[in-house]
Amino acid sequence: MWSGRFCEPLNSAFEEWQRSFPIDWRLLPQEVAASKAHARAIAAAGILTEAELITMHGGLDAVLANNPLHAETGGFTPTWAKATNAEDIHHFVELELTKQIGDLALKLHTGRSRNEQIATDMRLFIRDAIDNTIVGLRHWHESLTTLAAEAGDNVIPSYTHLQRAEPVLVAHWLLAYASMIERDCSRLADARRRGNYCPLGSGAVAGATLALDRTIAARELQFTAPTPNSMDATSDRDFMLEFTQCLATLGIHISRFAEELTLYSTAEFGFLDLPEAFSTGSSAMPQKKNPDLTELIRGKSGRLLGNASAVATLIKGLPLAYNKDLQEGQEPVFDSADTIAGILGVLPAFTRSLKFNFERMRTAATTGYLNAMAAATYLSNKGVPFRKAHEIVGNAVRLGIETERELDAITLPELQQLSPAFGEDFFAAITLEATLDCHDVIGGTARHRVAEALRAARSRIQSE
């Protein structure tokens, strides 16, 4: 590709080591698409005749057809990618195209540089990866909202400081994750919009030396427009940074979900029975059923975070414009895309198959004075200042602990000794239903608010 200026051959170990083809072979579809778009642009500039353009396009299609990327083989390197001396995907396509159409292939590189090619290929790759991730997230969202609908009026304790706080609807708890997913989708869609610009025509650094109409390639590849600055375009990897960062944030959300389910499946909580189809036994302890899926997901979120910091570290401190360091950015991007595809390949079905132990949840949510807040609210509705109400209910809770009774088992005369504001209607104000329904605000766990939130979540995800 660049042998003209050199007298000495490359050190063979170095030559082998600096290749990116063992990694970037999977950009073949993007490289072919970008090459076809570039061919159209140079044809419009008079470098190729209409007949040559047709030959070139046919040759590029054949390169793609002869070297299939099997979706089902995932990250495995196909045989064609092992048996070659190509330095990188750009070199590979040039070699293969020469086999197809002979010397005409050499004209393809007119007016372009590998620096703009790799930037274009990576943008195309990430665009697809974002689309696939959003599809997967929609499935997971759907699983969660279905589970929420099925949970009806069942309750679970909410926790603060991992201490039981107040009862909430199981649906309310599940919809918390639906909210996170919606933010993740919007972040990814936003990153997609910002990254959807075409570097082709930027040349090696200063812009193409040919009077190219850059809008031709941009349009052909469904980019919004050509990038506005050639130095930025050839060295910008913000779209890779944003992509890996979006996935790192998503990984954090998924990891929190995984952590909660791991905890809730323990005998100590007993809120759910792990689906056997997604759990494993222990080779040593016959009684065990282990939460491998949620544990692995929690572990994999570490990779997503690591990849985001790898890309950030790579870019930080690079002078403009292209530097070979940037080649190292491909692996973390591919790994994040593969990792999230793997997770979202199992998480929706796993979520859908969760079986909750609503009895245990209800017992946990109705013992331990989780209605104390509702009790204080009752007093404050009677005109007792909230600080005072808090103290009075605190005294009632202490009495309950000492005599091993919940608040609803303390008699009215006993309560009235603590405050004359207590009346017969107190007991109706601290039932489970009342405890839920007193949170009657947008985003609160009152039953009709949660029903509304569920409807809204379902319609938002459809319109995103």
132 binds ligand ARG per the rule CB under 6 A: no
123 binds ligand ARG per the rule CB under 6 A: no
How far apart CA 35 and CA 89 sit, in angstroms, is: 12
Positions in 219-278 near ligand ARG (CB under 6 A) = none
Residue 234, H or E segment: helix 230-235
* 8 A C-beta contact, residue 274 and residue 265: yes
Alpha helices by DSSP H, listed for 46-203, are 50-66, 79-82, 89-101, 114-151, 170-195
377 binds ligand ARG per the rule CB under 6 A: no
Instruction: Residue 20: name the closest of 150, 121, 153, 105 by CA.
Output: 121
User: What are the C-alpha distances in Å from 366 to residues 164, 266, 267, 386?
Assistant: 10, 20, 19, 23
* Number of shown-chain residues binding ligand ARG (CB under 6 A): 9
Give me the least distance between CB of 235 and ligand ARG, in Å please.
10
115 binds ligand ARG per the rule CB under 6 A: yes
Which of residues 209 and 395 has its CB atom nearest to ligand ARG in the complex? 209
142 binds ligand ARG per the rule CB under 6 A: no
- Residue in 42, 101, 105, 118 binding ligand ARG, rule: CB under 6 A: 118
Q: Which stretch binds ligand ARG (CB under 6 A): 110-118, 153-161, 257-265, 434-442?
A: 110-118
Instruction: Residue 224: name the closest of 200, 203, 193, 191 by CA.
Output: 193
Which of residues 37 and 171 has its CB atom nearest to ligand ARG in the complex? 37
114 binds ligand ARG per the rule CB under 6 A: yes
Rg of the chain over all Cα atoms, to the nearest angstrom: 30
Which of residues 322 and 369 has its CB atom nearest to ligand ARG in the complex? 322
92 binds ligand ARG per the rule CB under 6 A: no
Residues identified as active-site: 161, 282
Unique residue bearing structure tokens 């946990």? 364
DSSP per-residue letters across 373-391: HHHHHHHHHTT--HHHHHH
Give me the least distance between CB of 18 and ligand ARG, in Å please.
9
Which of residues 5 and 324 has its CB atom nearest to ligand ARG in the complex? 324
Which of residues 240 and 375 has its CB atom nearest to ligand ARG in the complex? 240
CA triplet 72, 75, 76: central angle to 5 degrees? 85
Positions in 12-41 near ligand ARG (CB under 6 A) = 20
Compose the 316-345 pattern: x for residues touching ligand ARG by CB under 6 A, - for all others: ------x-x-xx------------------
CA torsion through residues 420, 423, 429, 432, sign = positive
How far apart CA 199 and CA 326 sit, in angstroms, is: 15
202 binds ligand ARG per the rule CB under 6 A: no
Give me the least distance between CB of 118 and ligand ARG, in Å please.
4
How far apart CA 105 and CA 101 sit, in angstroms, is: 6
88 binds ligand ARG per the rule CB under 6 A: yes
Which of residues 112 and 192 has its CB atom nearest to ligand ARG in the complex? 112
Supply φ then ψ for residue 200, to 5 degrees. -55, 135
Binding site for ligand ARG (CB under 6 A): 20, 88, 114-115, 118, 322, 324, 326-327
